[in-house]
Amino acid sequence: MTTRQWRRRPVTDEPSGWPAHVHPVIQRIYAARGVATPEGAEHRLARLLSPALLGGMDRAVALLMDAIERDLRIVVAGDYDCDGATGTAVAVRGLRMLGARHVAHVVPNRFVHGYGLSEALVASLDPAPDVIVTVDNGVASIAGVAAARARGVAVVITDHHLPGDALPDADAIVNPNLRGDGFPSKALAGVGVMFYLLLALRAQMRAQNAFTDGEPDLQVLLDLVALGTVADLVMLDFNNRVLVDAGLKRMRAGRACAGIMALIQSSGRATSTISATDLAFAIGPRLNAAGRLEDMSLGVACLITDDAAQARRYADQLSAINQERRELQAGMVDEAETMAASAAHSDAVGVALFDAGWHPGVVGLVASKLKEKLHRPVMAFAPAGDDSDELRGSARSIPGFHIRDALADIDARHPGLILRFGGHAMAAGLSLRASDFDAFAAAFDTLARAQLDDERLQALVVTDGEIHGHDHTLDLARQLRDAGPWGQGFPQPVFEQRFECVSWKVMGQRHLRLQLRCHQSGVVHDAVMFNAYHGTPPPAQVRVAYELTINDWQGRESVRLLVQHMEACDQGP
């Protein structure tokens, strides 16, 4: 079992200027995330960064304005994850709102077209459109852009992925992560970049008096922007929190698009209390499952339709695919854990795993689960296709090991070993020849050993400290739920406490329901811990890291502790 060190988030600046109704615990939590005053939590849309600050806008806007004025055919080329699906829906809906009459979309099938704007995807467009607008992809699509340009198609790339050494010869590229781009927020998701392009396009059309029947309200797209931003696990810096908060407010008010409303209902979540956590763990996975196992076209169709009944049918189909994904993932994770514990892998620092029976659409989830368990960078590989001699891999990393840069390093040291790669600091994807797996695994482990010392390989339990027993209230739980939005880089509040485990029972096969008596106050609390039961009872005395949440059972709300980590401890205070 991975040992863990406990660490409390420091509060470097004392909270000041908060209204009296904001609980002191909330103030402390914000301060621990660098927000010491109310201004940092005022998520007004007026405080969004200006689209004019994002590089490449002028050229992209000019191309799209020309396409709208000339009634040209536009195809939005998306991606097969939630960010790509929501971004595609934002692009299609937004361009139509701004007057484009001929807007279609295409999403690559990972098993047919590969990733991004590939040559195969371009070849599938018949007839060829006049303009292709990519969403959440394209910055690495050198061959695909060349193929489109050879067919006389203009290409506008909107992306947020880190670029390689060379850029595609597109007509315009909008990406905050291009070298030298001055946009202050580098954390925009693909859907956010597309939304910003629409804002800039509307501003230019406004300046040219293009709106004779009233200006379209692009705020109606913010539910989609929020979902894609949270699901893509980009950092929730202030600008992204503004976008996500605005989208959540639309959802809670029942003003989301038909597809998101249907997905919320299908997931069993309550619209009025929907949170960023729900988007990350209940709504986003339903869309992602379509891209992993089948075709993301179903997900995009769900997000584009305005027919509530049709949207619910799509949402139910997505939920069924997601259940299939969960069952497939559970088996693959069990196999991966067994493999990682074997003599061949147990000492690895950079862990690379492959099984010929694994599904290429699920290896990213396997890598994520193993990374959490082992606190090591992990890559999981599966055959790219039934008749392919290539492997498709997905990587997840830990702080201190930039996974995309690591792949670039391996590529430089071993030319030709990696066929294709791309990604971010914490997640990446790549392709190899099956015959090169062992060589790659060795190179990956060697690099990880060189860059990760014992301290970085030490897993942490990071908390916001203890709260007093009298603060375990519904009022604080509601404020925690409604504050934030919480997510990547602006983490959900987690508290720590010592408890006596009064009683416990198993829910399903792997989950625990617990009664925990606080050493400090003597109060007994209901608690749950998911995927925690492995055949042995929990210790009698435990140190617990937990979220303070609300259990809504048959319309009655009560406080419940959601346990994130638990370990044996002494009975002391």
Compute the average pLDDT of residues 314-336: 96
Q: Which residues contact 432 (CB under 8 A, 6 or more apart)?
A: 381, 390, 391, 393, 417, 418, 419, 440
Predicted confidence (pLDDT) per residue in 501-515, tens digit: 999 999 988 899 999
Q: Work out the pLDDT band at 3, boundaries 50, 70, 90.
A: low
Which CATH architecture best describes the domain 341-457?
Roll (3.10)
What is the residue extent of each domain of the chain? 47-320, 341-457, 461-568
Compute the average pLDDT of residues 122-132: 97
How far apart CA 110 and CA 358 sit, in angstroms, is: 15
- Comparing C-alpha atoms, which of 547, 545, 472, 551 is closest to residue 507? 551
Q: What is the dihedral of CA 51, 56, 60, 63, to 10 degrees?
A: 130
Inter-residue contact 256 to 248 (CB < 8 Å): no
Q: pLDDT > 90: what percent of the chain?
A: 88
What angle (nearest 5°) sits at the alpha carbon of residue 351, between those of residues 292 and 322? Answer: 20
Predicted confidence (pLDDT) per residue in 349-367, tens digit: 999 999 999 999 999 999 9
DSSP class of residue 255 equals -
- CATH code given to domain 47-320: 3.90.1640.30
Q: Rounded to whole angstroms, what are the CA distances from 89 to 96, 118, 249, 519? A: 11, 20, 19, 51
How far apart CA 440 and CA 427 sit, in angstroms, is: 17
- Residue 327 backbone dihedrals phi, psi, to 5 degrees: -65, -40
Q: Work out the pLDDT band at 572, boundaries 50, 70, 90.
A: low
Residue given tokens 């605005």 in the structure block: 246
Residue 11 predicted with pLDDT over 60: yes
| The pLDDT of residue 520 | 84
- Comparing C-alpha atoms, which of 291, 292, 263, 299 is closest to residue 279? 263
What angle (nearest 5°) sits at the alpha carbon of residue 471, between those of residues 470 and 475? Answer: 120
How many CA atoms, within 13 angstroms, populate the side-chain half-sphere of residue 121? 28
Residue given tokens 């904001």 in the structure block: 22
Inter-residue contact 77 to 135 (CB < 8 Å): yes
Q: Which CATH class is domain 461-568?
A: mainly beta
- Residue 393 backbone dihedrals phi, psi, to 5 degrees: -120, 155
Partners of 394 in the β-ladder: 380, 429
How far apart CA 543 and CA 530 sit, in angstroms, is: 16
Residue 490 predicted with pLDDT over 80: yes
How far apart CA 234 and CA 487 sit, in angstroms, is: 8
Residue 36 predicted with pLDDT over 90: yes
How far apart CA 136 and CA 82 sit, in angstroms, is: 10
| The pLDDT of residue 423 | 80
Q: Work out the pLDDT band at 552, boundaries 50, 70, 90.
A: confident
How far apart CA 141 and CA 157 sit, in angstroms, is: 9
Average pLDDT score, the chain: 94
Tell me the DSSP string of 127-144. S--SEEEEES--TT-HHH
Inter-residue contact 78 to 106 (CB < 8 Å): yes
Q: Work out the pLDDT band at 295, boundaries 50, 70, 90.
A: confident
Inter-residue contact 86 to 299 (CB < 8 Å): no
Q: Give one word for 115, left, alpha or beta, with left for phi > 0 and alpha for psi -120 to 50.
A: beta
Write out 176-242 in H/E/C secondary structure.
CCCCCCCCCCCCCCHHHHHHHHHHHHHHHHHHCCCCCCCCCCHHHHHHHHHHHHHHCCCCCCHHHHH
Predicted confidence (pLDDT) per residue in 62-102, tens digit: 999 999 999 999 999 999 899 999 999 999 999 999 999 99
Predicted confidence (pLDDT) per residue in 356-399, tens digit: 999 999 999 999 999 999 999 999 999 998 788 999 999 999 99
- Higher-pLDDT residue of 294, 525: 525
Interhelix angle 258-267/297-304, rounded to 10 degrees, is 110
How far is C-alpha 323 from the geometric centre of its chain's CA atoms? 19
How many CA atoms, within 13 angstroms, populate the side-chain half-sphere of residue 306? 5
Inter-residue contact 6 to 463 (CB < 8 Å): yes
Q: Which residues contact 69 (CB under 8 A, 6 or more apart)?
A: none
- Comparing C-alpha atoms, which of 88, 94, 103 is closest to residue 202? 94
Compute the average pLDDT of residues 102-117: 89
Q: Both tokens of residue 398?
A: 């830990």
Q: Both tokens of residue 256?
A: 């989301």
How far apart CA 216 and CA 220 sit, in angstroms, is: 9
> Pairing state of beta strands 556-568 and 541-553?
antiparallel
